[in-house]
Structure formats: C-alpha cells, structure tokens
Homo-oligomer: A and B are copies of this chain.
Amino acid sequence: MHDRVLSGKQAINELYRTAYYGRPKGDTLELTLVEAAYLLYRKKLDIELDGRVLGFEDLFTEASKRQRYFELKYIVYRDLRERGFYVQSGVTDFRVYPRGGHPGKTPAKSFVYVRSERIPMPLSDLVPWVSAAENVRKQMILAIVDEESDLTYYEVKKVHPKGKTAMIQLSGDLIRATFLEDRVLVWDAASSQYLHQNGFYGKPLDDERLQLSLVESAYLLDLGLIRIMDSGTGNNLEIKTFSSLASSIDPDFLRKYGVYADLRNCGLVPKTGFKFGTHFRVYAGIVSTDKISHSEYLIHAITPDHLFMLPVTSRAVRLANSVRKRMLYAVRDREKMMYLDIGRIKM
C-alpha cells in the first residue's frame, strides 16, 4: 500500500458491482485511500498493512501522512456518498454520477475539486478546470472545506450576460460637464435628465444637476457624447488625460472601465456595487428609468493573476445570493472579457 488499497476478486463483486467502489484492475479491485477509509468506517472492509489489521484511527492517521489533503478529500467523499451519489476518483478529485446513474450506465455529471478554505485559489487554476469541464459538458463543482470541516459546494461556469438597454444617441451639441475633485458634474437640467433617463447614467445631485461616476464619464467621453472641462485648468479633457486623472483617483480605474464598457456594449447597465462590496451591480432589463428592474448581477473586475481568498469569495457569493443576484468575476481573456459565475449549490 502506498496510496492505493488492493482487494481481491470477491471485492469486485461485493464492492464494485453493487456500489461502484474502486476500479477493477484484472482480478483485483483498486481502492483509493478515501474509498478504503470510508469502507472501513462502514465496516465493509478489513485492511492489512504489513500483516497487521488496521483500525480506523490507524488507517486515517496513516493515510493523512501519505496523501496530501487526505482529510479534506475524505470529508467530501463521505458527504457525497452519504447523499447517495456514486463517486469515482479521476483526474479531478472526484467524478460524480447523476442521481439514478452509475459508472457503465451513464456518464458522470460533475467534476468535483476539493479545496481548503485556508488555501488561496489562483484564477489560473480555476479557469482550466472550468474549461475542461465545459469541453466535455460537465458541471464544475468546488467543494470547500472550512476550518471546522463544514462543507460548501459551489458551481463555477462561464456566462455571457446580455441586456436590453439601447446605446444612447445624441442630436445636437455635446453635453457640457466639469471634472471636480473626484467626480464629474453635468450642470444643465435638460442634459442631466436626458442622460439619466436614457441609459440610467449618473445620479441627480438635485433637480437640475447630474453627477457622473468616473467610468460613466469615460464611457460617454469615449462615445463622443460629452465634453468634460477640467475645473483646475479650464481645458476640455481628452479621453487619455481623463483616464490618467481617473487612475490617479482610483487605481483600479482602467480594469473597472474595461468591464464597464464591455457590459454597456452588451446592453447592460452597470452601477456601483459599493453597498455589496463589489465593483458593479448590473441591470439587464432597463429600458427606461420609469421602471427600474431588480439588478441581476454583482460583478467584480479581477486581474488574470487573481488569487481567490476563499473566505472573501464565500462572503461575496453568499451576499449576492441573499439578494437574489448572481456573483460574477470578470477578467480579460486575450481580446475578450470572460465572466465566471460562482454560485452556491446544494448537492
């Protein structure tokens, strides 16, 4: 035994044929350590090591020395089995069969990856897992084990949000605005109303004036709809100058702006997600501001080298779900924007 437990022909009949434990290899049944520990716990197996019969404590202690994250994997394996799923080990930690299905009858439904809440998870691990699962049409599931061995399951998938808000049009003069300390003000009542009602831009300062956020201002400037005067110099700002001013106020400006512009171009309306601790809350269904629908998404703009601190991710997803929104992470993937949807699921 190193990290496999071997069982004889009888085991194939009793353990594999009835409940799909292990993998038959010729006349023997090969069990992983978690399978062996679980079968020992269920008293369906005796295990010998160097001629000595191992108790559960011995096997568990031994296995946790031989296999990294053995305890975590055991906790997840046991949970899935006790919920009635057939589970096989694979390239991913576990392949899980759909209810009513089993190896040989149906393909697996999900790929399950086990992580400890304590270990930060790089986006660069996650994306290949999601892509691999997507390529073979499996559900990608993260099973996260916390400090007290509680388990939370998350489904991760790529999504392509789309919305119904038309691109804003302008006939006539550019709208005049001023860049103050860290936000932009539109002074004129008609323009303020127009921007706010067509596309839900900005927030009224009062009944005449509109405050635009930095990303909103940049987008409207990029579309050529407004001109923004710098209150310091009195000059109109080019998009480049505006971007660098905005970046000096908000170091994440460019990353956020990339996501903002992509979402607007897809007909969505992103507004600040401050109250939810994310970059944006995003509306898919706004046609006019008379009827503002519930926002569907919370979206956070991350970098390709992002590390998910799992307690933080857990909080973000939990909060999003508690207000009936999906939590998405947006990251630039070559020339396109990729949106990863992370949601809690019940197995």
Residues of A within 8 A of B (CB): 41, 56-57, 60-61, 64-65, 68-71, 75, 78, 116-118, 144, 146-150, 152, 178, 180-183, 185, 187, 202-203, 205-206, 209, 211, 213-215, 231-232, 249-250, 271-278, 310-316, 318-319, 322-323
With both chains docked as a complex, state the minimum distance between the C-beta of A227 and any C-beta of chain B, in angstroms.
15
Option from B75, B181, B183, B322 in Cβ contact (under 8 Å) with A149: B183
Chain B residues whose C-beta falls within 8 Å of the C-beta of A215 in the assembled complex: 147
A71 touches B213 (CB 8 A): no
Chain B residues whose CB sits within 8 angstroms of the CB of A318 once the complex forms? 275-277, 319
Give this chain's copy count.
2
Point out the residues of chain B lying under 8 angstroms from A57, CB to CB: 178, 185, 187
Cβ-defined partner of A274 (8 Å) among B146, B182, B185: B146
How long is the Cα–Cα vector from A147 to B203 in the complex, in angstroms?
A: 10
With A146-B274, A147-B274, A274-B314 given, name 15 new contacts (CB 8 A).
A41-B206, A57-B187, A61-B231, A65-B232, A70-B181, A148-B213, A148-B271, A152-B274, A152-B275, A274-B310, A277-B313, A277-B314, A278-B311, A312-B312, A319-B319
Q: B278 touching A147 by the CB < 8 A rule? A: no
A214 with B147, Cβ < 8 A, contacts A57-B178, A70-B181 known: yes
Query: Can you list 16 residue pairs at the A/B interface with Cβ under 8 Å?
Result: A60-B180, A64-B180, A68-B181, A147-B274, A148-B202, A149-B183, A150-B274, A152-B275, A274-B311, A275-B314, A277-B311, A277-B318, A315-B316, A318-B319, A319-B322, A322-B323
Q: Which residues of B contact A310 (CB under 8 A)?
A: 274
Give CA–CA (A276, B202) in the complex, Å: 32
CA distance A77 to B146 in the complex (A): 44
- Of all chain B residues, which has the CB nearest A116? B182
